[in-house]
Structure 1
Amino acid sequence: MPVPAVAQAQPGDLDRAVTALRSISTMQASFVQTDRNGQRATGTITLKRPGRIRFQYSPGIPMLIVSDGAALTVIDYQVRQVQRWPIKNSPLGALLDPTRDVKKFGTLVGGNPGGVTVQVRDRSHPEFGVMTLRFNRKAGAPGGLELGGWTALDSQNKLTTVALSNQRYGMAVGDGTFKYNDPRRPTRR
């Protein structure tokens, strides 16, 4: 049986990927998130650069992930817990942190006529994790590449894969989209 050929990156693919990321002002898409155990969750992602993102999970999933531009916040409404990290200290920093230079920390790990894959890691800060961004070549997308998803490996070796679909760009997104109700606050009766 013949061994399949490994796709080679094309000259300029890293520059094109950086341009595509920087060209996204706003984006909304459906997502499917899969953890290392194969558990899946779905929802809608809203992105507003610089630094803002919201993972609104489907009804029945009591989670919310929000970045307000400074910190990434994970809210678990079921156990009434909130965890916050500076954006730059998370694998999502490659996507969200406006000071993170994807070209400086990025390496092409694959490319083909249909797409580009870029791995982003800060070797001087392995605790920030690794993010592998997947782009699909699409003429109408910002920079000619559509963000198709990513795989994040955090410092605890937890692997999460996010696949995007139905991407829309350039819509108006208010800053209130990136606020959340804190479940730790007592409710009045």
Structure 2
Amino acid sequence: MNFCAIDFETATSDRNSACEMGICVVENGEIVSTKTWLIKPPSYPYFNPFNIAVHGITPKEVQDAPTFDEIWHEAEALMYGNLMIAHNAGFDAGVLRSCLDHYGFFKPKLNYLCSISIAKKSWKGLPKYGLKSLAEQHNIQFNHHRAGADAEVCAKISLLAFNQLMLTRNEDVTEVMKKNLKIL
């Protein structure tokens, strides 16, 4: 089982305003690394106060951070050839697409899944499927709304869900989740 879990935090409601990106790499069913980047968004120095209230990242924290185009090649290398999973994947895939478009990068051919749909298939009837709720359900502690921590918890939840579904290979995941599989 090989995949990468990804998460973004944004500075504004604009999808290209990534101010933090986290990627958790899973190889052979084990988390091998988690990488987090603070990012100076195109809106800098403007950050919507609502977004700051959610994640706590301020313009001061990213003033010396690289822009998305400066970190993309390193991030892409971690993601290359992997299935991408995100919690509420429509949002994170949209942020990735918008950042790539903003900086004129080609979009990689990348299959992605939402860990919410994986969780719903694994644990039917839970009252909530938010990342925080699922983490609490599985006794996982983390710093919510920070990209690296959220990506790592997404990976952990996905691994637990795949185990619940008895899926041990990417081919099995593709077969079982084919209706939910999307392309970036």
TM normalised by structure 1 equals 0.23
Query: Normalized per residue, which structure has more strand?
Result: 1
Larger radius of gyration between Structure 1 and Structure 2: 1
**Structure with higher RCO (Cα < 8 A, 6+ apart):** 2
Instruction: Judging by fraction of residues, say which structure has more helix.
Output: 2
**TM-score in terms of structure 2 length:** 0.24
